Amino acid sequence: MTLVTAGSESEPQTLWSTLREALRGSTADFTRIPIGRAVLLLAVPMVLEMLMESVFAVADIFFVGHLHLTDAISTVGFTESVMTIVYAVAIGLSVGAAATVARRIGEGNLDGAARAAVQSILMGLGVGAIVGVIGIVFAPSLLRMMGADEGVVSTGTRFARVMIGASGGVTLLFIINAVFRGAGDAAIAMRVLWIANAINITLGPCLIFGIGPFPRLGVTGAAIGTSVGRWTGVAIQLYCLTRAEGRIRIRWPHVRFNPEVMRGILSISGTATFQNFVGTASYMGLVRIISAFGSAAIAGNTIGIRIFLFALLPSWGVSNAAVTLVGQNLGAGHPESAEASAWKVCIYNTVCLVSIGVIFVLFAPLIVSAFTDDSEVAGHAIHCLRIVSAGFLFYGYGMALTAAFNGAGDTRTPTLINVVSLWLLEVPLAWVLANPIGLGPTGAFIALSVGFSTMCFLSVWLFRKGAWKTRSV
């Protein structure tokens, strides 16, 4: 399969032309064009996609906050805590989809890519249906399990039932966008989230406050608006997958259960899902250690980590380019290009993160002041931001190489790296520095930075060994 770069004959390949092509969608063969250009064509829409994904979480809490009801705000918080598990599973499942599709596209096997896309969608439907039934039936129990009082349970049960019950929209959005990214159609994934968010931001407040002909549903309206936005996005995704001009085109002969392809995707996705849980569990361990030093320390840590995670969104987008480039180049029989692509993504990602880190170090007090005016809380948040930022130089490489391993279908290696760096080093070190050595919350922040740095060194060492190049998908 030979693809040509859109506009390559009519205009010189400048930075601006590359950015325009990235936003409108490229038909380039990423295994044949210069690596730096391929990274930009993929990374730009992926960064914007990540930013759009963050808007879903922010929009609900923003509009519900204007209800001025504590129970309503708490409902969103408790339900989002449950939904983080859904997100972790969806992200893990999407890794297998992206890696398999990228490998088939690199091989020029368009039918194989379409079959992998169908099996990924069936997997997303199955997981979404199971989680949805659990959410509808057990929503009150889930809220109580998270610590909600009876007032929140009474106010928020319908919200939780709608959000968790419709969570198939989350799994499918993540998985099908991963299919597009694996195929190199990153711009489609970006546009889908733009449309889904536009619907959420427009419909949500109408249903929450009863604007115009819409009923006033309060906090439940936020859940309906979000769910309608997500499922509309899924409908658009499915339409795009059936178009004749797409990189992947699903036809009726592809729509059938294929146990062999499904097993291959699940073997990658299962480990990738555990990989995500390793990071989530290690963070919970750090929070438990910090909680011993009072509510101000926890509040400061929460602010610092939220700012930190928002800053990582562009970096996640850049890193995701490695999934597509590594997978497609391995499929095309170009392992050297796959490796060179990964190192190029590492450089771009590190430049991105170090730039953000410098801003955090220099302007941490100003940034934190936008979130709190409590001097004690602000002090902890500033320490968190500055110390964690010190690891950005290394974390850029760690994130990109994790994506490269996943793109090659080798999800075991980054999972083991995470276990060693986060569970066996970061959490025990945090406890030692915070308690016996007496550094308090600062010790936990130092351990977080050390964990990131260790992840980088282990990733570089194992990536250079090259075993990932022989992983079959």
> DSSP readout, 17-77?
HHHHHHHH-----TTTS-HHHHHHHHHHHHHHHHHHHHHHHHHHHHHHHTT--HHHHHHHH
Which residue intervals of 332-440 are DSSP H helices? 335-369, 375-389, 392-407, 412-418, 427-434
- With a cut of 70, list the residues of the chain below it in pLDDT: 1-12, 54, 56-58, 68, 70
Q: What is the pLDDT of residue 4?
A: 38
Element of type H or E holding 298:
helix 295-331
Residue type, 48: L
Q: What is the pTM of this model?
A: 0.86
| Rounded-to-integer distance, Cα 325 and Cα 338, Å | 6
Element of type H or E holding 143:
helix 110-145
Q: What is the pLDDT of residue 359?
A: 92
For residue 56, which of 221, 196, 214 has the smallest C-alpha distance?
196
Q: What is the pLDDT of residues 235-290, one digit of tens each?
A: 999 999 999 888 899 999 999 999 999 999 999 999 999 998 888 788 878 888 98
Q: What is the pLDDT of residue 125?
A: 95
Integer-rounded Cα radius of gyration of the chain:
22
Q: What is the pLDDT of residue 220?
A: 93
Q: What is the pLDDT of residues 127-141, one digit of tens each?
A: 999 999 999 999 999
Q: Which tokens in the block code for residue 129?
A: 């249906």
Q: What is the pLDDT of residues 312-344, one digit of tens each?
A: 878 888 899 999 999 999 999 999 999 999 999
For residue 70, the tally of other CB atoms under 10 A from its CB is 11
